[in-house]
Structures are given as structure tokens and as C-alpha cells.
Amino acid sequence: MLGLVAEGPRSGYDLAQVAARSTGYLWAPSRSQIYKVLPRLVERGLARSTAIEQQGRPDKAVYEVTAAGRRTLRAWVETVDDDPDGGAPIFLLKILFGFVSTPDAIRGQIAAYRRLLERNLAAFERQEAGLTEDEPVYSLIALRHGIARARATLAWADEAERLLG
């Protein structure tokens, strides 16, 4: 949410739509969740809100990131964790909010993501090799899913590094 606020000044209502579009594939909070978290960002000094009067509607509360908020976001984007709690989507979110940091930091995230993918791929392949004939096809199908995705994502990592220049 801090990242979405850092993209530009937004109301809670706006945020719900922006989130669905931009991070929606990775993470999308409900409107009620947004209205709970936003005041917390202000409490912690990471964002500030400005009331905007409107006619025939409730006042709009527009949130903006503060300098401290930007620093906090940047620190998060630059923190390297080879096996983050939220899994792969964390890497993608950090990439998406790369604009608060440097291309080098993002290269670091891609490298960490690559390491996770390589570990996962190796684990899947080991499991695949260990499958016996009495096991249902379903296990194999699920394993092949993981393998296909890991390989494709590794290929994407090459492309991503090229795009970063």
C-alpha cells in the first residue's frame, strides 16, 4: 500500500482501483482493508492526508507519501531476502516499486528471485526423479507445472536483466 501511495497522491477509493489494475495480479486488498491501513500509514509518519471538499459527496481524503515513507519503501525494496515470506510475488512488487530505488537494487532482487527459482526447480526435479509407478499421474502433472513455470521464469529473468540495460 505504501508503494501504491508513493506512485502518486490518491484517495482510498482510487487506491482500490489502481491496486486492481497495477498490482492486482499479485496482491489486491479490499476497500475496507484500505480504509483501515491508510490511517495507520499516517500514524507512522509514512503518509499524510489532505481533506478535499466536494459537493454532493463525502469529503475526499487524499494520501501522499512523506519523505520518511519514501525512505521506508526504498529500504524495503532494497532488502534482499532469498526466501521472502510472501513468496515470489514479493520480488515482483519490489520490481514494480523499483522507481524509488536504483536499477542495481532491482538487479539484486532479480538475482535473489533467480536463486529461489533454481532451488525450487532442483527440488521439483529431484521429486520427479523419485516418483514411482504406483503414484498417481496427478503428482507428476503438478510437478511438471512447477518445473515449467520455474524454467519460464528463469528465462524471463534473463530478459528482465536485458531490459534493465
- The residues that touch DNA, with contacts defined as CB under 7 A, are 11-14, 17, 27-33, 35-38, 54-61
**CA 87 – CA 85 distance, rounded (Å):** 5
Residues 48-87 that bind a copy of itself (CB under 8 A): none
95 binds a copy of itself (CB under 8 A): yes
| For a copy of itself, the closer CB: 38 or 74 | 74
Q: Which helix (H) or strand (E) holds 10?
A: strand 10-11
145 binds a copy of itself (CB under 8 A): yes
Interface stretch with a copy of itself, choices 33-41, 42-50, 63-71, 144-152 (CB under 8 A): 144-152
Distances (CA, A) of 42 to 14, 18, 98, 124: 17, 20, 22, 44
User: Binding residue for a copy of itself (CB under 8 A) from 48, 60, 107, 149?
Assistant: 149
| For a copy of itself, the closer CB: 50 or 102 | 102
Residues 61, 51 contacting (CB under 8 angstroms):
yes
| Grid coordinates of 88 | 515470489
